[in-house]
């Protein structure tokens, strides 16, 4: 049967092939994760925390190797890969420090009884379905809180991340997580559906596309399983009239080029005052044209390849379609000649509601710049899509910026920063960007049994 293949997107060369599980293998995975749950949940929280702390240490110690791996696996420039590794390490470490307290029993008002006690208990084996764009970080934000809570995990990573997913499993096991408490499974989409339906699996978390999220949520709902979905985004970034236009334009360009634009919470719709448009546009175009595109293992490269030639061609097609529908292309937008999944970063304006790119997510190095004349117009434009992951305001008057931020229909609103993700902050969206939260105490609360034990006098 078909396996997992890792192809270097900078060269187009296949590096490794991994054998996928057959159906008997899937059943074995389900037996193992189910059998491991009683012992793992009974492991003292301090010991589970210690395993997470050791995991964090391994990430930090192996950071260069891990960054190199995803550079060749999905094309992330080395410096950005190192930053991702350290972010993943910080998540494991945060839950190692705070996890035991988050799981502690809570005495509440007894309300007529001798005692009312709220306990936090794991619910059982979980399935995690993770994407390729942040291979370590997105696994960490699901795995760390749920291993800390005492759940066992079956992790199905993206097909192109077979090598990094294997290394993550090795590090967790080396750190002291039992082999069967965390299982890396090379499963197909059909096998994933069967695992979610299996009564031994108690919940599923997916980070990915709307289509994948809808399929997983339907399957989970049909079998009365809890699900958490982190899906797409088309995040607005509003530049206020008192902002430092040069500084914000350069910040926007760097954010939009990071990870070759392949981030759900990247600022994909940039909304600037009409009077600032020419200056802002000129700077973004200059930054895009000056960014070095090339081998992600080179230190001077700012923009690596997209994850695959197919992904690159899809983004190029979106740009071409936008132009054919009336948008204005100021730079880039075409595939680079030669091997690999490279494209020239693109800047678009004139994207009106009649153009597909107004609503759809562009998952690549493309900046779409809109203008506004009143702040009411800017807010209406920011909210006029079906996504609601995050958004940001940029300006010197913090009270004004906060007032605008409070009107965004998003799960995360930022003032003078965009897309910040830290272990103790909640992460998640609304509308078609999904539901549920990850990270912080909120990530610990999704797949647990908040259990009441009430005692009255005999």
Residue positions annotated with a catalytic role: 230, 264
Alpha helices per DSSP H over 43-183: 45-61, 63-74, 78-102, 137-149, 162-174
Write out the two tokens for 25: 């293998």
Phi, psi (rounded to 5 degrees) for 305: -75, 165
SS3 451: strand
Closest listed residue to residue 158, CA positions, set 194, 186, 190, 137: 186
**Distance of alpha carbon 444 from alpha carbon 452, whole angstroms:** 17
Which residues contact residue 293 at a Cβ distance below 8 angstroms, ignoring those fewer than 6 apart?
301, 302, 303, 304, 336, 342, 343, 344, 345
First to last CA, the chain: 62
**Distance of alpha carbon 64 from alpha carbon 77, whole angstroms:** 12
Residue 65's CB is within 10 A of a number of other CB atoms, namely: 10
> Between 45-61 and 162-174, two packed helices, what is the crossing angle to 10 degrees?
130
DSSP character at residue 94: H
Closest listed residue to residue 368, CA positions, set 346, 390, 335: 346
Sign of the torsion formed by the C-alpha atoms of 259, 261, 262 and 263: positive
> For residue 268, what are the CA distances in angstroms to 30, 49, 305, 341, 408?
40, 37, 18, 21, 15
Closest listed residue to residue 226, CA positions, set 435, 30, 427, 38: 435
**Distance of alpha carbon 160 from alpha carbon 131, whole angstroms:** 9
Q: Are 137 and 159 in contact (CB under 8 A)?
A: no
SS3 286: helix
Closest listed residue to residue 226, CA positions, set 159, 137, 172, 151: 151
Largest CA distance in the chain: 81
CA 392 from centroid of its chain's CA atoms = 18
């Amino acid at each position: 049967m078909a396996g997992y293949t890792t192809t270097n997107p900078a060269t187009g060369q296949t590096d490794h092939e991994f054998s996928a599980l057959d159906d008997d293998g899937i059943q074995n995975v389900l037996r193992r994760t189910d059998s491991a749950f009683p012992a793992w949940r009974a492991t003292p929280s301090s010991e589970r925390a210690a395993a997470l702390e050791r995991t964090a240490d391994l990430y930090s110690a192996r950071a260069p190797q891990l960054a190199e791996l995803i550079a060749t696996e999905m094309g992330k420039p080395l410096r950005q890969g190192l930053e991702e590794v350290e972010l993943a390490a910080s998540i494991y470490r945060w839950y190692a420090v705070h996890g035991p307290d988050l799981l502690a029993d809570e005495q509440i008002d007894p309300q007529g009884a001798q005692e009312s006690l709220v306990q936090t208990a794991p619910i059982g084996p979980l399935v995690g379905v993770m994407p390729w764009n942040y291979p370590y970080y997105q696994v960490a934000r699901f795995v760390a809180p749920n291993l800390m809570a005492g759940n066992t995990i079956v992790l199905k990573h993206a097909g192109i991340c077979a090598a990094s997913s294997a290394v993550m499993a090795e590090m967790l096991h080396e750190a002291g997580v039992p082999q069967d408490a965390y299982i890396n499974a090379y499963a197909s989409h059909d096998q994933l559906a069967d695992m979610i339906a299996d009564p031994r699996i108690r919940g599923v978390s997916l980070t990915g596309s709307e289509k994948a999220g809808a399929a997983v949520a339907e399957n989970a709902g049909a079998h009365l399983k809890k699900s958490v979905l982190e899906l797409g985004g088309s995040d607005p970034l509003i530049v206020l009239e008192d902002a430092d236009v040069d500084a914000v334009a350069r910040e926007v360009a760097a954010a939009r080029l990071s990870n070759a634009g392949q981030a759900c919470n990247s600022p994909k719709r940039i909304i600037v005052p009409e009077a600032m448009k020419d200056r802002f546009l000129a700077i973004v175009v200059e930054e895009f044209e000056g960014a070095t595109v090339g081998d992600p293992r080179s230190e001077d490269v700012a923009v690596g390849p997209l994850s695959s030639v197919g992904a690159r061609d899809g983004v190029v097609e979106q740009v071409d379609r936008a132009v054919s529908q009336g948008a204005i292309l100021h730079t880039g937008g075409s595939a680079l000649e030669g091997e690999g999944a490279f494209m020239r970063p693109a800047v678009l304006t004139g994207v009106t509601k009649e153009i597909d790119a107004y609503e759809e997510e562009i998952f690549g190095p493309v900046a779409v710049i809109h203008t506004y004349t009143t702040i009411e117009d800017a807010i209406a434009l920011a909210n006029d899509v079906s996504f609601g992951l995050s958004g940001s305001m940029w300006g010197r008057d913090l009270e004004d910026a906060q007032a605008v931020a409070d009107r965004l229909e998003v799960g995360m609103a930022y003032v003078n920063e965009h897309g910040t993700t830290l272990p103790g902050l909640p992460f998640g969206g609304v509308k078609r960007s999904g539901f549920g939260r990850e990270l912080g105490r909120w990530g610990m609360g999704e797949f647990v049994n908040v259990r009441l034990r009430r005692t009255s006098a005999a």
